[in-house]
């Protein structure tokens, strides 16, 4: 059972990271060549209804879901992993791809709000439909 108490909604955020190489063909600069990042990915989930324990969605389950998507990219060259064999593995494309892969795994009572990807501590992209 999911309770709707107080009329507001809840947003929950979890984060994970993975290491992967990429190259950006067509980019006018050194990033056109193969190089690596520790990619940080943060996702925000929203909903109105809490379960009997008082949780929107267990952090543990959210981390498991995110990890399940990111492990496909870990220690890979992103340019070899679909769909990045056809589109450049920029932070923008990665954020969108993670969004729709992750959304598929979610139960009906929660919504994925946004996916943020950091290529470095100083550079972040957010995808929000």
Ligand X SMILES: Nc1nc2c(c(=O)[nH]1)N=C([C@H](O)[C@H](O)COP(=O)(O)OP(=O)(O)OP(=O)(O)O)CN2
Nearer to Zn ion, 31 or 126 (CB): 31
Q: Which residue among 59, 123, 128, 129 contacts ligand X (CB under 6 A)?
A: 123
Enumerate residues 6+ apart whose C-beta is below 8 A from 10: 46, 47, 48, 50, 56
Query: Known binding site for Zn(2+): residues?
Result: 22, 35, 37
Least CB distance to ligand X at residue 112 (A) = 21
Q: Which residues 9-28 are close enough to bind ligand X by CB under 6 A?
A: 24
Q: Which residue among 62, 91, 97, 115 contacts ligand X (CB under 6 A)?
A: 91
Q: Which residues 26-45 are close enough to bind Zn ion by CB under 5 A?
A: 31
User: What is the spatial distance between Cα 102 and Cα 89, in angstroms, rounded to a whole number?
Assistant: 17
**How many C-beta atoms lie closer than 10 Å to residue 35's C-beta?**
11
Query: Known binding site: residues?
Result: 22, 35, 37
Question: Which residue of the set 2, 31, 40, 114 is catalytic?
Answer: 31
Contact 34, 23 (CB under 8 A): yes
Enumerate residues 6+ apart whose C-beta is below 8 A from 118: 39, 40, 41, 42, 91, 124
User: What is the spatial distance between Cα 80 and Cα 65, in angstroms, rounded to a whole number?
Assistant: 23
Contact 110, 3 (CB under 8 A): no
Q: Active site includes 49?
A: no
Q: Active site includes 119?
A: yes
Q: Which residues 61-90 are close enough to bind ligand X by CB under 6 A?
A: 90
Residues near ligand X (CB under 6 A): 24, 31, 35, 90-92, 119-120, 123
Catalytic positions, written as ranges: 31, 75, 119
Residues near Zn ion (CB under 5 A): 31
């Amino acid at each position: 059972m999911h309770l709707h108490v107080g009329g507001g909604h809840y947003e929950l955020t979890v984060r994970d990271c993975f290491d992967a190489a990429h190259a950006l063909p067509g980019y006018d600069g050194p990033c056109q060549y193969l190089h690596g990042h520790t990619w940080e990915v943060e996702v925000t989930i929203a909903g109105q209804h809490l379960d009997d324990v008082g949780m929107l969605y267990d952090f543990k389950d959210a981390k498991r879901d995110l990890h399940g998507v990111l492990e496909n990219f870990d220690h890979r060259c992103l340019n070899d992993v679909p769909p990045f064999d056809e589109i450049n593995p920029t932070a923008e494309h990665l954020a969108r791809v993670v969004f729709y892969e992750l959304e598929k795994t979610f139960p009906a009572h929660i919504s994925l709000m946004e996916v943020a990807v950091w290529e470095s501590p100083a550079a972040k992209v957010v995808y929000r439909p």
